[in-house]
A and B are shown apart, each in its own frame.
Chain A
Amino acid sequence: MDAATRESFEERARTFAAERLAPAAAGFEADEEVPAAVYRALGERGLMAVNVPEALGGSGAGVVSYARAMMATAQGCASTAVTMAVTNMVGEVVAHFGSEDQKQAVCPVLAGGRHGAFALSEAGAGSDPGGMMTTAVLEDGEWVINGTKQWISHGDTAAFLVVWARTDGAGPRGLSCFLVPEGTPGLSVASHEDKMGLRASHTVSLAFEDMRLPESALLGPRGGGFRIAMMALDGGRIGIASQAQGIGEAAYAEALEFVRGRGGDQGLTFRLADMRTRLDAARLLALRAAVLKERGVPFSQEASIAKAFATEAAWWVCNQAVEILGDQGLVRGGAAERALRDVRVTRIYEGTSEVQRIVISRGALRG
């Protein structure tokens, strides 16, 4: 993808974030909802399926464009950004592993601004998805799925969900992946989480009770679910690293303006220097992983480094921003106050910092 395309995607996202998201983000949070029109508008700008081929309704603009657009969007509204991240990830998974019918059914819908959901985690299987309990049994040519999933972003509003279930015994090789359209009988929302941050995005648990799917709902090969999840998360981590970086930028920007307006001694300005440095390192690490993924070379180690570094750096930046702002940093409605709450989860979802460290040290010890 050429430099101009990447620039234009970032610019498009940046303009949208500045004009439509940042001024409205506090309101979205109060309403616990980002209007569907916002996602349609993101879809119109090609931001809901950035790295999905144009033939499937996506933008075909590559991973670097996606990472840059994600940073810009998250700076405006982190809740909007997480929905954009998950939808892009689901679109990519389907574009990569889906049958022709699945691709045609799903990708254009997500590209238009409907949500996708990624149903992997369970109450007892987070960092270790190999331990999941949800089952899928083939009965009379149909898959029958039973179990529950937890921490599913927009599981309630998604047009399509990718759902992991155990089809073939214990361990990672017994997992398969399914494509589930909204409204499938047997699928229900069990509860909505009341979260610390990202309050304008929905997080739900899902119950599957004898949910029946045609055989063709299998996404990718039977028993291939774990591999699909890991591949999706490798890419997803670039998205979350970028999201965190963008959230950090929002907090930094508020702190910078504050110091500009009131002046600040070195106790404050040195913090700004450290914040700027870490945000730049986070941005560069995320972009490096994106470049590698776009080039089609291994990037798992770099994605984990980007994710752990960027999410922790961004959290630190948000915390310092609140420190600089003082009391003003604690008041609802401010960018840094929201950012500090929103950013915290980036160190947890799509692979905790601890899981990233396991991946990174494994890579380093292999040499």
Chain B
Amino acid sequence: MEFQLTEEQQMVRKMAREFAERDVAPKARELDAESRWPTELVKGMAELGLLGVAVPEEFGGAGMDNVSYALAIEEISRACASTGVIMSVNNSLVCDPLNKFGSDAQKKEWLTPLASGEKLGCFGLTEPSSGSDASDMQTVAVKDGDEWVIDGSKNWITNGPHADMILVFCCTDRSQGARGTTAFIVPKGTPGFNPQPADHKLGIHAAHSCTMFFENCRIPDSLRVGEPGMGFKIAMSTLDGGRIGIAAQALGIAQAAFEKAVAYSQERKAFGEPLAKKQAIQFKIADMAMELDAARVLILRAAWMKDQAVKDKSVRHTQQSAMAKLYASEMATRVTHQALQIFGGYGYSKEYDMERHYRDARITEIYEGTSEIMRIVIAATALKG
């Protein structure tokens, strides 16, 4: 890894930044305050190819690499974390597995409109009583002739209320444990597939999530993704990529808070001089800058390794993705906390962005694998040697 972005990567970052600063940032506070789904921004991202960044052009994607993707997520999240995760879910959790594991027909019928942004997807793994322990799922799919019948529920499904399809994971053979899990595409409007009203959350208010009920929901076998029993492997491989997206989202949130705190420290005076003249504030700024960069290099490495894995199937980036996600998400909590502190009372006020960044950061330590799961993954890989 050379720590130098290619021209193409720089171009993607510039394009994402321009869009984020022009179209996304001015709306972020309002989207948050009103918990409004950013229809127009999702459309804007689709037009720029941001909903299928690393998907080959033949399947409707932008045909860029995963480093470009991480940079774009960071830029969008720097403006609005909700918009960032909407993008991340469609790219990492839906397009990526369909590209890797989907049949030719599925790539044509589903991946192509999803990557081009004509359709939007969501990812259904978590259930009310199985989060970190994903293989312990209760949702079942039973084969009935050439159809599968799905029963159960999934929750915390980001993009759920607006998605045109869900990639859902079901138990198809209880006796096989994790190896009895299978992935399916369920189109919106399928009888028996019922998205519930949007969740009320601490942060990322504009990225609607919901619970999904499946009741006697019948889909054809042609919507099964991968072989029966491959579901858990697909889910884990998908999350290895998704964690890069969430890490980049966390980095974007923290970067936004940091930049605003740095600017504020130079304007705001206390004891006769700008805050930035105080060493206590300078040292906070230095700590934030260091932690941001540590997260940045861990994310770039994970994305770079995922790009190597595209070329060489023997390359694994599970541990590197987990490190990037663990560090970046916890960093974002610390950095937004300190940035809010520099803002003092104004940081706590809804009139400014700090409290939003602080709330938005928190989820990054939880979804797509909690910090605890990341530590299990990292330690298990290390101990295996």
Contact = CB atoms under 8 A, between A and B. Distances in A.
B298 interface: yes
Sorting the interface of chain A by its residue count into under 10, 10 to 19, 20 to 34 or 35 or more gives 35 or more
A270 B287 CA distance: 23
Nearest to A361: B282
Interface stretch (B32-40, B168-176, B372-380): B372-380
Given A288-B3, A291-B2, A360-B290, A365 B298 contact: no
Interface string B347-385: 000000000000000000000000010111111101101
A291 B3 contact: yes
Nearest to A281: B294
A277 B286 contact: no
B293 interface: yes
Nearest to A301: B289
A309 interface: yes
B293 to A, nearest CB: 5
A365 B276 contact: yes
Sorting the interface of chain B by its residue count into under 10, 10 to 19, 20 to 34 or 35 or more gives 35 or more
A292 B3 contact: yes
A357 B286 contact: yes
Nearest to A365: B276
A291 B2 CA distance: 7
Contacts of B375: 266, 269-270, 273-274
Contact of A365 (B262, B297, B380): B262
Interface of B, helix, strand, loop or mixed by DSSP = helix
A4 interface: no
A143 to B, nearest CB: 38
A136 interface: no
A21 interface: no
B285 interface: yes
A256 B382 contact: yes
Contacts of B122: none
Contacts of B265: 365
Contact of A280 (B3, B298, B377): B298
Nearest to B266: A365
B346 interface: no
A346 interface: no
B275 to A, nearest CB: 10
Interface in B1-39: 1-4
Contacts of B319: 276
Contact of A285 (B288, B297, B323): B297
27 contacts: A256-B382, A260-B383, A266-B376, A270-B375, A270-B376, A273-B376, A273-B377, A273-B378, A274-B375, A280-B323, A281-B327, A282-B294, A284-B294, A285-B293, A287-B1, A305-B289, A305-B290, A308-B290, A358-B282, A361-B289, A364-B285, A364-B286, A364-B288, A364-B289, A365-B276, A365-B282, A365-B285
Interface of B: 1-4, 262, 265-266, 276, 279, 282-283, 285-290, 293-295, 297-298, 301, 319-320, 323, 326-327, 372, 374-380, 382-383, 385
Interface of A: 256, 259-260, 266, 269-270, 272-274, 276-278, 280-282, 284-285, 287-288, 291-292, 295, 302, 305, 308-309, 354, 356-358, 360-365, 367
